[in-house]
Chain A
């Protein structure tokens, strides 16, 4: 059976690092996996002290102390030095091999956890990134969704009213331009929001209802006719073009695709649109226009911010249209491709008519042959019974000592075999008592009379035991004594047949020891399930690791088929048979997949099945080593999610900086035209001019928000560079207070500035202005109608900016205020405890300083910013 597999071989080759350490810390033996883990040859490792391979001396001492005391180790973490100098993190489990109460050696099983340590630290970093991403995404969506749209809406509404009231043609033109640039800005904001939804928040939501693609396309083509009058358009529609889609999203796709064609299509080739609804389950739309997309752009045609990556391909706006189109098509489970042929560009969109329900993931496996033609294995032939003595007697007389004893045990006859085995010649043996073959102990314990007594009573005596040769050496003898009787049934003597089985005995003894060692070791391994299957797949042995991982006890599982460890779909797919078949055919099968515990729960397992053969080449069973990788699998999945989050961070940062730059384009038009409008109107209608002035403030606010967007992105990307120069903080504070005079009187706030002259240091002047502006702005917002104190002074080598208001003060837990700086919720109070203070803190920290908030004695909130006067390294 499987137990016959040579355990030495097994231990040597098992994919688990194992070593034995003597009481003094010398490595007695190590298997291949142990050596491979560290990269040493046996000579470089075995016979050396473990201290040579440990990175931490204290750990070696501790391990040696524990091992010498016979204390078992479980997942004791140590750092090993590999031959190439690498540090491997290893979890060591061990138990002591004691003999006569003395430690002979310690059996150590190692587990290389370097990778998981590395992943762990990587993971921690990524968790922080993820948190940052979520936080900034929230901020960002909030800025776009509310803060930018609101002033924009105010501008649009006010301008629409104005258009009805002004008569001056130049004012009319300016108002129209305000509207068109507002519209452009609104579209940009929508695109940015879509982008953030698609890329950062995990997909665009769809509102499906019955829709007709042909109608959507025809409507969108009207836009093209408007944008590019006179450009010929050909449209052909075939079959049923209805399906369950989000029609406004698809209209967006059409508008983007047709708009792209209108922008790039050459005049000589008409825009060709074909909609094919002849297939039952899907609809295909192709769109061809003249002018091929340059080959260097084609591969990234759907990438976000495409235009930015190719200098001469600058598209108007953000370069997000095709990216968003692709996202929308994907959200519909469809496909969109771009192709260039004969200097014509073709976009192909395929849409399933209805949502496709994805089939559950099926088990993938190599095609297997039907097993009928390839029987798994022949049953093991039953072990040969006791040798047929008579038959072999005839055959191999040299191999057996065969001789006769008289009734008293004296040797009567002798043969060649007897001489070979015992060393006595015939003349030396005959006539002597057969006790000469026995050990001292056997003689002392009366073994000879016992043997003869048994032979007399039962006819024969059979045993295996140690005997003594002429030269005093011992041999392992298989002995058969047969009583010989005369016709009166009286014992007249004995026939004795002896076989020398020393060699076999030695091997068996070694095997027995090894097996015991192996069994103890395997049984004590907790990190791996190591067990045997018979050729049919029934569990034949079990270890502690198997019990720990699979939760079955040995009693419960031995004899049962190993398919109990597999999910039902795997069993139905024939995975169990396939695995054994592959292992039997190629010697080994390795797999990672879901397995079941006793309670039915799943774990992610690495499984290695090794076919075991006896010396005749007969398959005797399989060795199976299973590792529970659930944790690793979870880490991997988590890593994947985190990597995606990281990508989102990167894109978001890129996006924020492009977005804020790009948003300024319509904003520039907006402001100039609003100014023009105001100037034109002022001459005829002062009250109208006032209204426009209010609109202008909304546009100022937009500008400020877009700048903030850029600041946030700089903080996030770490591009928050400081331009340090000698700065007099008091002077800066004085400038800011002057500049904020108007805003302060608007908020009925009196600013009391108490500025110690010449508080000097090396700081970024613009950023420090921002800190003071934001702190004062915050105070005015929360404590309108009361006075605000601003103090600037030295505290040894630290400059302090203090702003104290007389508003409602901070909530009880002022630390919570700091946490709120970065929370999305704070965005609703933009300018309050939102981005303004977030930026203050970032600036302070970038300067090596900090910001704190507390409730002032006598009411109100007090913010203190501390800045080191000198840049510290």
Chain B
């Protein structure tokens, strides 16, 4: 559905994208992760034909990106880009008209989109009267009203409470079931973990790692991770080294990679003599992979 080959883009002398290559298959949810300034927004701008790449190729549904490919894409930006005084229905109707949907189809599609984002009962409500979560869902509906083949969701749940976040996740899964290809950018790694079939980690304009979560887990030679709290971290690290455990810091947490699955008793015994305040076992998560890849 989306093919990006060796894309390069610089702002003046500052390279933003360096030989960026990524392929997204039809119906896939692809998570594009990366720190601020990694090049995610520049990539989206180029996909949307708002920016020209310096070199490389980019095609959507086998068509090189141009003004003609705009109707193939639906973008839900980070901010809710909606007309606040218009109702939900009027907003969607306006965007559907811009994309050239005929009147009859437009009516149907507007109602279908409102239903899809659970806002059918708020169709006549002005946007300014909706909650943040509802506005976010309408923002996504506005991106879908013209039947795009590729939906780009830029941080779709940032700033939402957990209930609203669940609703948006559910919506994204429903979109995938309808065959829509989704490019998701997010800073919420658990979100990417839950939703994405494949994930690409972007830094300095390059994809540093890419694959399914299972494939990405191979980047960390650990079966499990234990996070320990101790007043004597130096001794704990020294003991871990002796045991063949690699240590890492995740924020303030001291963690050790366990190369094999061990019973809790066994783990505690390996730190015998070191005062441990707590010990927590975790599976290898995207957060650990992300830190490993971006801080390497």
A and B: partners? no
